[in-house]
Each structure stands twice: as structure tokens, then as C-alpha cells.
Amino acid sequence: MANKDPLMITDKDEMRKWSRSMRAQGKTIGLVPTMGYLHEGHLSLIQESHKQTHLTVVSIYINPGQFSPTEDLSTYPSDLLGDIQKLKSVPGGVDVVFNPKNLYDYGNNDNGCGVGLDQEGGKVVSCVETGGMGHETWVRVERLEKDLCGKSRPVFFRGVATIVTKLFNIVEPDVAVFGKKDYQQWRIIKRMVRDLDFGIKVIGTELARDDDGLAKSSRNARLSPDDRQKALSISKSLFKAKFAAENGQNDCQELRNAVIQAIHEAGGKIDYAEVRY
């Protein structure tokens, strides 16, 4: 049934109480963690949760713990009312939207994001630490977080693993659904769940693309028409490399160089391009 109004919960104790009440009734709970500004990719995760569980919780929380002060926390797109309408449009809807104000609020109200170095002046830290909120405990998946995206975003996966742990402890789901667009993130969460013995099934769904091939992302809303056209070089070069590999090209360096060249020619800047199998 579409147009189902979700229960809105902002308090973590209320969220935990709801989950325990539902579980006491024999209901299973699926969690879809998001940072909001939802798109069709997010909605597909909800549909997967419906297949797995009786009830679905969608969390909407822009997590400061995964942003360094030089990143786009303050400009990350947000539209809660629009998100609620999108959630109501999903067949079957969602049961709860968990939209906490600040999951790092332990009694002081400083949510600022200041300079990006610790007091010793050498290590990049997150907006949680520079905001003076007093949070000291972090979850790290030490090997998997170091490579690929982790090279240029040293606080990102630590912040993701920590906030997902917090959400798991608050919502207490049976199943959690993530998109494979953020493939390294999905693998890190799966490893964390295994290593820390969470009793949660982690499901990854295939990424969703727009008709022109661009992977759906909340940040796409900030692309100019010209930048969007340039961004298509990413998917086009990856599809071309995939086709070449499937047809006998097994030189990983040549595949990598072809991707880099295509993106450079479109005016893009490479963070990394690697072939993994």
C-alpha cells in the first residue's frame, strides 16, 4: 500500500523502545541507513528490506563523524519533507523514519566543525572531534579501510563504521540493507558485523543508474549540466573497460590507463583508478 505515513522518531531511546516492542511481537526489522536526499537507489533498498523482514526502518542522519572539516558537511543536500513524500510513494511504505538531531550529543551543544588537525597538529580528524562534542570511541576495520577511498579520506570509513554501529545498537535490526555503489563501504560493514558478532544480516543491492548511465547519488543534485556531462566519462570508461576485460583484455594496467585517460580527457581529476578481482 502506497502513501503510508511512517512513524517519525527522533529520540534514540524511543527508537530502541519501539524496536524491542515490535520484536516482542515476533516481528523482524530491516534497517536502511541513509543520509537523506533520497533517490531511486535508496528506494530500491527499501523494497529489498520488504522482501526480508516484516517491518522497515529508514534512518536519515547526516553523519559528521565521516566528514573532515575540509569536506562538504555544511553543503550536503537535505530535504526531509521531500524524503518523506518519496518514502510514502514506495509500495508498502516504511514503518519508521529515524531522524535524530545529533547522535554525538552527550550534553554539550557545540556542533561546529573547526580546523582539521588534532591538538598534536599532525592527524586529520573529523567534524565530531573538532566540534568539541566529547566523543572518543571509534570503530575501525583496519585493513579494509586503508586502501582505495580510504587513502584520500582518512576519517571516512572510521566514521561510517562507528555510526553504523551506533545505529545497529539503537535500532537493533535483524537485517540491514546497503547499496553496492559504495562497494568498499559495504564490504567494511560486512566485515565489521562478522568480526564483532552482530546478529544482523547485511545485504548489498546492485547500484542504480540514471538513463544516461550516471550512478544515482544524492550529491548529483549539485552538478551543473556541464559537470554532469563530464561525469558520464566515469561510467562510460568503466563499461568500456568491463567490455574489454570480458573479451580477453587481461592487462590490468592497460585497462586502468584507459579509464584514467577517458576521465582526464573529459576534464576530470582522478582520485584513484584500480582493477580488483
Q: Minimal CA–CA distance to 161: which of 182, 134, 132, 130?
A: 182
**Phi, psi angles (nearest 5°) of residue 90:** -70, 130
The verdict on whether 135 is a catalytic residue reads no
Query: Measured between alpha carbons, how far is 89 from 143 in angstroms, rounded to an integer?
Result: 40
The grid cell for 148 is 582505495
Return all residues near 268 (Cβ < 8 A) that are at least 6 apart. Answer: 230, 231, 233, 234
Query: Measured between alpha carbons, how far is 33 from 236 in angstroms, rounded to an integer?
Result: 29
Q: Active-site residue among 42, 54, 135, 264?
A: 42
Contact in structure between 75 and 50 (CB atoms under 8 Å): no
The grid cell for 174 is 535483524
**Phi, psi angles (nearest 5°) of residue 245:** -65, -40
Q: Minimal CA–CA distance to 67: which of 121, 5, 129?
A: 129
Instruction: Please give the positions annotated as active site.
Output: 42
